[in-house]
Structure 1
Amino acid sequence: MSGVAIAVPEVSRRDGSTGEMSVEEARKFVDDMLIQAQQQQATQQPPPPPAPVRQPRPIEIVVEEGDSPPPSENIDDLRTQVEALEEELRRLK
């Protein structure tokens, strides 16, 4: 019965005292609250079914030849840059 909010009315007895119940009154009160909660649950619509699991879209990677420089030139250039950065780092230390 979690998630059900019920307003509890103030109980007034015939003698004018408040906040006290007899066992019979308490039992009737609890039974009425259970019936009210069950009716509220019956009137609520069931949650929608979960969305179907979608598969990821395939991604096509197209590599066009001739756009990049030959690998050996690129590697040599990167090595030169790394050496220059290492030398600069040594100077800064």
Structure 2
Amino acid sequence: MTDAATDLHARLAERLAALEPIQMELVDESHLHVGHAGAQGGARHFRLRIVSKQFLGLGTLARHRLVYDCVRDLMPYPIHALAIEAGTSPT
């Protein structure tokens, strides 16, 4: 990962800490999207698996909204895509 990608990964993790995750895995999958229009200009693709008690009682859409609220200003650049799996119990 480049320094810029490492910095972005750290920034994302810092923002998502607001959800007090019990478990979190954040993977940069940008290398899988080389040549994709959204990746032009260096925008990144991430996959997030996150478990938080803040998701209790919420449906998938509401969980995703909480995640997007944490990173909204980073989209669509420098983050082009964020695949989210948000749960309430560790696996």
TM range (shorter): under 0.3
More strand per residue: 2
Structure of greater relative contact order (alpha carbons < 8 Å, 6+ residues apart): 2
Scaled by the length of structure 1, the TM-score of the pair is 0.25
Scaled by the length of structure 2, the TM-score of the pair is 0.26
